[in-house]
Chains A and B, each alone.
Chain A
């Protein structure tokens, strides 16, 4: 580590303080395993590999998350009150959220499936076209290469 503040090397002072404070950050940030994290896309070999990985990640992520969550609030009495109101509203409207989330999840899953079907079809068409090109090339140059 190296830290320069206003051009002055502060690694031993501010740098050490940052390291000390950083120890409080615990636990994983991402709920996904590294192989299922969005950052795994950085390991793609090429565009085709990227698309394969992206499709896989999308299939893992189609659903909206309706789990309870920590509601943040501003300090002070009004902040605390507002936080309680937000928590109450979340509980009150939960039945509506879950219904809408269910509908949205179904749509998301169908859209991803449609994309997969389309990819299969395009892939098949490409293979067929490549085969036809090979056949046509063989027909137009039957034995030229052999003669040469």
Chain B
């Protein structure tokens, strides 16, 4: 029998996707700890530019002494592979987006999310260990009858942020303006239309020399993306830039030109871009929802039930009140300090029960 391996199953794999990013980070830790470790996803859900880092599901053949970590957020053929695996089974629950967000835009995804909810209990009952990437997600599992989920927050890897900014992106924004940035998937649960409305008030009445930069893939809901484009045009906003997917160096450039990072998302399991923005010294404004308070800690500006006009005024405060901005930035520095000293390898291997591999 081969030495035990730690493999991972994901519903899809793409560069820039948070779960794919997490799987790669865990693979890195496993390999450094001496384990064989591969990532598997359904063949038709592996982005071509990321195929070098992920195997097709058909090649997934774990042994009984292996461990398989299943990243769960939506139903996919990976579920069947997990069920039939003889290996020790661990589920990392990344939360399932409520399907009603997708119903108007993509019935197929809404159906997959509904099915994911239905099969979740069965999947969890097959797992030896259950982890969740936020206490919010763990609490949801508790309500489902699985109170012992361990919290393992999404990994933040600062070395991936310290990349020189893409000069072609910087060149696009040389005219000095106030830039409000959103980074994340263009998906209906992110409620980007609310951000556009707030920006419209800001642009119209507070700072006409301003841009809204929306950076993220539109693959998961092109019909929602079309609605956003139409809405921005409807409001006469010619400085709303839909930048779609950005590479690491591209992201670095967007964070460099940003004056504010803002999200009005209505459903988040954790939201890693909040942490990235804080690391990049960009003041963060975030709706307090789901797992975002855990990502933010006691940092940045967090809001509930703010009207679009009030959010616009909040943008104004951050842009034009240096002491307010300084307070926010300092709180974010403290938050990042806490995250940087997190002993990720020990935490992960400890959860796995392989603490003997923890580097001394």
Binding site for B on A (CB under 8 A): 1-8, 14-15, 17-19, 21-22, 24-25, 29-32, 37-39, 41-47, 49-50, 54, 57, 61, 65, 69, 72, 74
Question: Quick one: CB contact mask for B93-122 with A, threshold 8 Å, 1 for yes?
Answer: 000000000011111000000000000000
In the bound complex, do residue B299 and residue A38 qualify as a contact, i.e. CB atoms below 8 Å apart? no
A30 to B235, CA, bound (A): 5
In the bound complex, do residue B301 and residue A4 qualify as a contact, i.e. CB atoms below 8 Å apart? yes
Binds A, one of B147-155, B223-231, B267-275: B223-231
Binds A, one of B30-38, B50-58, B200-208, B347-355: B200-208
Chain A residue contacts of B231, Cβ below 8 A:
37-39
| Interface set, chain B 279-333, CB cutoff 8 A to A | 288, 297-307, 309-310, 312-314, 316-317, 324, 327-328, 330-331
A50 to B302, CA, bound (A): 33
Chain A residue contacts of B310, Cβ below 8 A:
1, 15, 18-19, 22
A42 to B197, CA, bound (A): 15
In the bound complex, do residue B230 and residue A7 qualify as a contact, i.e. CB atoms below 8 Å apart? no
B193 within 8 A of A: yes
Ordered by A's residue number, 7 sampled pairs between the chains whose C-beta atoms are within 8 Å are A15-B310, A18-B314, A39-B193, A39-B227, A44-B103, A45-B103, A54-B223
Q: How many cross-chain pairs have Cβ atoms below 8 Å apart between A and B?
A: 115
User: Other CB < 8 Å A-B pairs besides A3-B302, A7-B331, A42-B193, 12 of them?
Assistant: A1-B310, A2-B303, A25-B205, A25-B309, A29-B235, A44-B105, A46-B107, A47-B106, A47-B223, A50-B105, A50-B223, A54-B226
CB within 8 A of B234: which of A4, A15, A32, A74?
Answer: A32
In the bound complex, do residue A45 and residue B104 qualify as a contact, i.e. CB atoms below 8 Å apart? yes
Chain B residue contacts of A29, Cβ below 8 A:
197, 200-201, 204, 235
Binding site for A on B (CB under 8 A): 103-107, 188, 193, 197, 200-201, 204-205, 208-209, 223, 226-228, 230-231, 233-236, 288, 297-307, 309-310, 312-314, 316-317, 324, 327-328, 330-331
Chain A residue contacts of B301, Cβ below 8 A:
3-5
The closest CB in chain B to the CB of A10 belongs to B301
A47 to B109, CA, bound (A): 11
Chain A residue contacts of B197, Cβ below 8 A:
29
Q: Which of B200, B309, B324 has most chain A Cβ within 10 Å?
A: B309
A74 to B302, CA, bound (A): 31
A44 to B204, CA, bound (A): 30
In the bound complex, do residue A3 and residue B303 qualify as a contact, i.e. CB atoms below 8 Å apart? yes
Chain A residue contacts of B309, Cβ below 8 A:
22, 25
In the bound complex, do residue A22 and residue B299 qualify as a contact, i.e. CB atoms below 8 Å apart? no
A19 to B311, CA, bound (A): 9
Chain B residue contacts of A19, Cβ below 8 A:
310
A72 to B330, CA, bound (A): 34
The closest CB in chain B to the CB of A79 belongs to B209
Kindly provide the distance from the CB of A133 to the nearest chain B CB, expressed in whole angstroms: 22
Kindly provide the distance from the CB of A44 to the nearest chain B CB, expressed in whole angstroms: 4
Kindly provide the distance from the CB of B89 to the nearest chain A CB, expressed in whole angstroms: 35
In the bound complex, do residue A2 and residue B288 qualify as a contact, i.e. CB atoms below 8 Å apart? yes
Known A6-B331, A50-B105; judge A25-B201 contact (CB<8 A): yes
Chain B residue contacts of A6, Cβ below 8 A:
298-300, 327-328, 330-331
Kindly provide the distance from the CB of A68 to the nearest chain B CB, expressed in whole angstroms: 12
A53 to B196, CA, bound (A): 21
A44 to B221, CA, bound (A): 14
Kindly provide the distance from the CB of B103 to the nearest chain A CB, expressed in whole angstroms: 7
Chain A residue contacts of B300, Cβ below 8 A:
6
Chain B residue contacts of A18, Cβ below 8 A:
306, 310, 313-314, 317
In the bound complex, do residue B230 and residue A61 qualify as a contact, i.e. CB atoms below 8 Å apart? yes
A91 to B282, CA, bound (A): 40
A30 to B332, CA, bound (A): 36
A61 to B227, CA, bound (A): 13
In the bound complex, do residue A7 and residue B303 qualify as a contact, i.e. CB atoms below 8 Å apart? no
Kindly provide the distance from the CB of A7 to the nearest chain B CB, expressed in whole angstroms: 3
A120 to B212, CA, bound (A): 38
In the bound complex, do residue A1 and residue B304 qualify as a contact, i.e. CB atoms below 8 Å apart? yes
